[in-house]
Structure 1
Amino acid sequence: MKNTFNTPTFSELFPNEKRFTKILREYLRYHLHKIWCSSECYGLNDYLANNPLWARLFKQDLYRFNTLLETYCNKKFNKKERLNAIITHFNCAEKLFGSAYCNQLVEDREICLITLNDEVSIYLSINQIDPLEGFFSLNIQNNQKEHIYDSSFTFLSKDQLLISSIQGPNTEFSQSLIKSATKQLYGVRPMFMLVNIFKLIAQYLNLELLGIHHKNQAKYRWNDHSKLLFNYNLFWQENGGTLNSNNYWRLPTIVEIKELSTIPSKKRSMYKKRYELFEKIEQELKELW
């Protein structure tokens, strides 16, 4: 019997929403988008019917269907581009990671990629913050399973990886978490460590590494952009990025290593441990896929 997958109903997408104004606004938006994207809905339903692994991912949280109806990673994507980007991501994930690994990721929701030291580890996760920014994320967690930093991403093609969001903790202990992690990472701030991990992954898988343009980021709104406190364009420039013709920031895939002799003597030991950590990450990545 052929598998089927149907476009989720409004109540399935927003099962817990109680605010009347919010429900009314989302209800109207849902039906308008569903009509406008009817052909693309059919295309995604057909893809998921034929790819039960990814159908399972959607059934875990049907809100993920809004990636087709509203936004997926890049606000400039039109409805056809969103459909293509979603399907491309899943196809590339299976090709690059392998079907068994993807099955494990969907089943467990997260996989520990690398234990950096006794305190912090790198995880590959199903993005639990907002799927509109990407289905997958890399994150740094401590031993208490607290997320120190998250970064969602998508595969744009078989040889392109787009970092689509960077997000730190949002608790009263945020600063102490970041400070502690920076110390554990030998002076590398967690958000920069995530970019370094992406660089090493892209290098190993022979991918072009890209960063999202600030105004194309999924959460960007022209009328309340001040709420998006993190400036992606400045951050990518700090990481050696250059803006390409497609309005993505092209990032280098080589992790910067300075000659120890050029580093002040009192910091030399810290940098040596940092570079040893990068070597450890590089070696362990090669054993994953």
Structure 2
Amino acid sequence: MTQLTELDYKTRLPDTPVKLCLSLFTGALTPHSLWQSAPFRRKFLLRALIMPVSTFKVLNMITQHPAYPELLQAQPRLPCRLHRPYLSNQLTRRECTDAIIFHYKKITALLDETAFIKHLSGEGIRLCSFSGKDGGDYYINFISTRKLDREGEASLILKRADGQMLAEITFTLCEKEQQAVIITGGLQGPNNPDSQQIVQAATKNLYGIFPKKLVFEALLVIARLFNVSRILAVSNKAHVYSSLRYKNRQKHMHADYDSFWEMVGGVPTDRAMFSLPLATTRKGFEEIASKKRAEYRRRYELLDKLTAQIETGFRLKVAMSF
């Protein structure tokens, strides 16, 4: 078996969808330890034969991508992404296929090669960093990670300086009616035994902003930079882990999606989705009790800093055509 990192993709990686399919099935190419399992590879081939058109389209996108080896290594389940529920249990296979292809086409056009590969790395792109009330540092990274690949292709992850994850929101860029749309398939907080205490401490240090609210605010900035016309989000009912296939994984859903989307101004739509606002409304200081104005001022300053850093960071990293 040949490990992907040992390959010169220009001469040795399979250059067609059929060749890639066969290389993965035979074990000649193992971008991750998952592909070292013969049962996994047999299931892949069987499902590829059952759904050949969608599988071919995704494999073709992979083999034609300028960052083919990095993409396959960062997202080793991408060749079989459509063989399982993905993004929302309300979407058709064709919609999921189109979403994956559009996402990578759009992201590749927006980011230069270095930035695209960076967002595939274990660290991702550092979008912003800031200090909380107690002086502790926080940061938000833009990353494509396989551990969240059922819920989307890219994530915004808020962490403390010590690496403790506080919130992550996962999405895929799609196209609807010739307009770019974000579909948010995942929203999670920490999964620690003391997660409630961790979130409460972070909220206090972030001047009363919930960690999930902060990554949502970051998503709104990304949506503006990517010229997104609409943001959709899965409800509890539409989440992939609500699929019959993942019944035993529903314990991994620690978030009440419906309540959060309603809190940020989301409106229920058809197909068990929410339509989210493209911007949030801030209270005027005259509406805020005098004893709370200082806290709100610092909160707004933090949000303004987050926005400015993300805009500056992506302007430095996006391709010249953006």
- TM-score of the superposed pair, with normalisation by structure 1: 0.86
Q: Deviations over 1:38-78 (max 9, x none)?
A: 22222222221111414522234523333122122122333
Equivalent residue, structure 2, for 1:116: 130
Residue in 2 that maps onto 1:9:
25
Q: What is the one-letter code of the residue matched to 1:252?
A: P
In the TM superposition, what whole-angstrom CA distance separates every residue of 1:180-215 from its partner, at most 9, and x where no partner exists?
211221101111111122123223433122211322
Please give the alpha-carbon distance, in whole angstroms, between the structure 2 residues aligned to 1:123 and 1:257.
Answer: 25
Residue correspondence of structure 1 range 86-101 to structure 2 within 5 A: 86-101=100-115
Q: Is the 8 A contact 2:90 2:272 kept in 1?
A: no
The one of 191, 194, 197 aligned to 1:170 = 191
- After superposition, give the CA deviation of every residue in 1:100-137 in whole Å (9 maximum; x if it has no partner): 42122224541110012242111111224231111211
Q: Which moved more, 1:261-270 or 1:148-157?
A: 261-270
Partners of 1:226 and 1:84 in 2: CA distance? 26
Residue 213 of structure 1 is matched in structure 2 by 235
Mapped pair 1:145 → 2:163: yes
Tell me what 2:220 maps to: 199
5+ residue gaps, structure 1, are none
Counterpart in the other structure of 1:78: 92
Spell out the pairing of 1:28-67 with structure 2 (5 A cutoff).
30-67=44-81
The corresponding residue for 2:277 is 252
What CA distance in whole angstroms lies between the structure 2 residues aligned with 1:16 and 1:246? 33
CA displacement, residues 231-257 of structure 1 (integer Å, 9 cap, x when unaligned): 322221111111234543111122221
Amino acid across the alignment from 2:108: E
SS at match of 1:47: helix
CA contact (8 A) 2:232 2:275 kept: yes
Unaligned runs of 5+ residues in structure 2 are 1-10, 316-322
1:237 maps to a residue whose letter is: E
Q: Partners in 2 of 1:67 and 1:272 — Cα distance?
A: 44
Which residue number in structure 1 is paired with residue 180 of structure 2? 159
SS in 1 for 2:286: helix
CA 1:165–1:54: 2 relative to 1, 3 Å: farther
- What's the secondary structure of 1:116's corresponding residue? strand
Q: Which moved more, 1:239-248 or 1:272-281?
A: 239-248
Over the matched positions of the two proteins, sequence identity in percent amounts to 21
- Number of equivalenced pairs: 285
Q: Is the 8 A contact 2:62 2:71 kept in 1?
A: no
Distance 1:128 1:49, change over 3 A: closer
8 Å CA contact 2:123–2:143 kept in 1: the answer is yes
Tell which deviates more after alignment, 98-107 or 157-166. 98-107
Q: Distance in 2 between matches of 1:272 and 1:48?
A: 47
- Distance in 2, Cα, partners of 1:65 & 1:91: 16
Residues in 2 aligned to 1:27 and 1:95: alpha-carbon distance in whole angstroms = 32
